[in-house]
């Protein structure tokens, strides 16, 4: 595992390496198989998680069974903090998109950590503020942007987290099925598929199963605006 990625999480920011290592060691490590659910929306929860390896999806389900994905998170990112800071049920279901390793921290441990290291709170607020900013943008896109625009934006967003530079372009191994990609964009699988096929026909992307290579970032960025 890449400890450095985990130790760069907001939870550990600006801390002395030894202290950080001690907290990290006190966290419980949980291994998840693809598709495994860590916790469900509505359950009580008082634990925070930091991703060590793999990808975690956060999703909500409507009363009629439709699913919407709020976010796909990768190594170094945290989740589960909402029910911890604002005691109440989990606001989303967390499950593994790929094999994953997460590190769990309990409420008492976190409170003690923040009390002795107030700087950590600033970093966590920063991460929460970034998340709210992004959520507001997604909300506006759902109202103001068309599906191809949202698909372009989702691909660019995933590329910031999971993109790898190759000779051909930016390869994004998102590990999502077509259905999951559609749930992330908030549209039907058919419409999302059509947008992707159109991008591929224009030479902006190349599709590769559960990955996509972004060939023309400039055009995609323009389409995402
Ligand atoms: P919690 O409510 O404890 O459990 C579900 C978690 O999903 C939540 O904490 C946040 O960490 C995360 N989450 C909820 N909403 C969003 C969002 N809009 N964007 C990213 N992560 C979210």
Q: Could you tell me the CATH number of the domain that includes residue 184?
A: 1.10.10.10
**Other CB atoms within 10 Å distance of the CB of residue 114:** 14
Say if residue 185 is in the same domain as residue 85. no
92 lines ligand 1 (CB under 6 A): yes
Best mutation site among 69, 82, 104, 138 for ligand 1 pocket (most ligand atoms within 8 Å of CB)? 82
Structure confidence by residue, pLDDT tens digits, 7-55: 778 777 766 777 788 888 889 999 999 999 999 999 999 899 999 999 9
What is the rounded distance in angstroms from the CA atom of residue 64 to the CA atom of residue 10? 36
The percent of residues in the chain predicted with pLDDT above 70, rounded, is 98
Q: 75 near 53, Cβ under 8 Å?
A: yes
Mean model confidence pLDDT for the chain: 91
Say if residue 130 is in the same domain as residue 156. no
**pLDDT at residue 209, rounded to an integer:** 85
Say if residue 68 is in the same domain as residue 133. yes
Which DSSP letter does residue 11 get?
A: G
82 lines ligand 1 (CB under 6 A): yes
- Looking at residues 115-127, what average pLDDT do you find? 86
**Sign of the alpha-carbon dihedral angle for 81, 110, 1, 45:** negative
Q: Tell me the DSSP string of 154-173.
A: HHHHHHHHHEEE-SSSEEE-
* CATH (domain of 63): 2.60.120.10
- Looking at residues 209-216, what average pLDDT do you find? 93
Is the predicted pLDDT of residue 84 greater than 90, yes or no? Answer: no
Say if residue 58 is in the same domain as residue 164. no
- Ranking 40-44, 107-111, 147-151, 175-179 by mean pLDDT, the lowest is 107-111
Is the predicted pLDDT of residue 204 greater than 60, yes or no? Answer: yes
Among residues 97, 122, 142, the one where a domain terminates is 142
Structure confidence by residue, pLDDT tens digits, 63-77: 888 899 999 999 999
Q: Which domain holds residue 152?
A: 147-224
Residues in the chain: 225
Q: 215 near 169, Cβ under 8 Å?
A: yes
| Range list of H helices, 66-117 | 82-85, 107-116
Say if residue 22 is in the same domain as residue 99. yes
180 lines ligand 1 (CB under 6 A): no
**C-alpha gyration radius of the chain:** 18
Q: How far is the CA of 138 from the centre of ligand 1 (A)?
A: 14
Q: How far is the CA of 43 from the centre of ligand 1 (A)?
A: 13
Q: How far is the CA of 78 from the centre of ligand 1 (A)?
A: 9
pTM: 0.90
At 2, is the pLDDT very low, low, confident or very high (cuts 50, 70, 90)?
low
Say if residue 122 is in the same domain as residue 179. no
**pLDDT at residue 87, rounded to an integer:** 83
- Looking at residues 83-106, what average pLDDT do you find? 92
Say if residue 21 is in the same domain as residue 124. yes
Say if residue 72 is in the same domain as residue 130. yes
Which DSSP letter does residue 44 get?
A: B
Best mutation site among 58, 93, 132 for ligand 1 pocket (most ligand atoms within 8 Å of CB)? 58
45 lines ligand 1 (CB under 6 A): yes
Say if residue 95 is in the same domain as residue 38. yes
Atom of ligand 1 nearest to the CA of 58: 7
Burial of 223 (0-12, 13-18, 19+ CB in 10 A): buried
Say if residue 133 is in the same domain as residue 207. no
Which DSSP letter does residue 74 get?
A: -
């Amino acid at each position: 595992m890449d400890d450095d990625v985990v130790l760069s999480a907001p939870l550990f920011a600006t801390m002395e390496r030894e202290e950080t290592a001690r907290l990290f060691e006190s966290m419980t490590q949980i291994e998840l198989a693809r598709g495994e659910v860590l916790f469900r929306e509505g359950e009580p929860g008082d634990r925070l998680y930091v991703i060590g390896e793999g990808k975690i999806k956060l999703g909500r389900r409507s009363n009629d069974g439709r699913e919407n994905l709020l976010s796909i998170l990768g190594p170094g990112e945290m989740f589960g903090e909402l029910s911890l800071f604002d005691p109440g049920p989990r606001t989303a279901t967390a499950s593994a998109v790929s094999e994953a390793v997460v590190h769990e921290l309990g409420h008492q441990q976190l409170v003690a950590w923040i009390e002795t290291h107030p700087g950590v709170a600033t970093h966590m607020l920063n991460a929460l503020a970034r998340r709210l900013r992004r959520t507001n943008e997604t909300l506006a896109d759902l109202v103001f942007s068309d599906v191809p625009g949202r698909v372009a934006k989702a691909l660019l967003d995933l590329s910031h987290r999971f993109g790898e530079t190759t000779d051909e372009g930016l390869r994004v191994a998102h590990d999502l099925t077509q259905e999951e990609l559609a749930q992330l964009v908030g549209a039907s699988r058919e419409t999302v598929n059509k947008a992707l096929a159109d991008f591929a026909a224009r030479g902006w992307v190349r599709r590769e199963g559960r990955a996509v290579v972004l060939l023309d970032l400039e055009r995609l960025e323009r389409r995402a605006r």
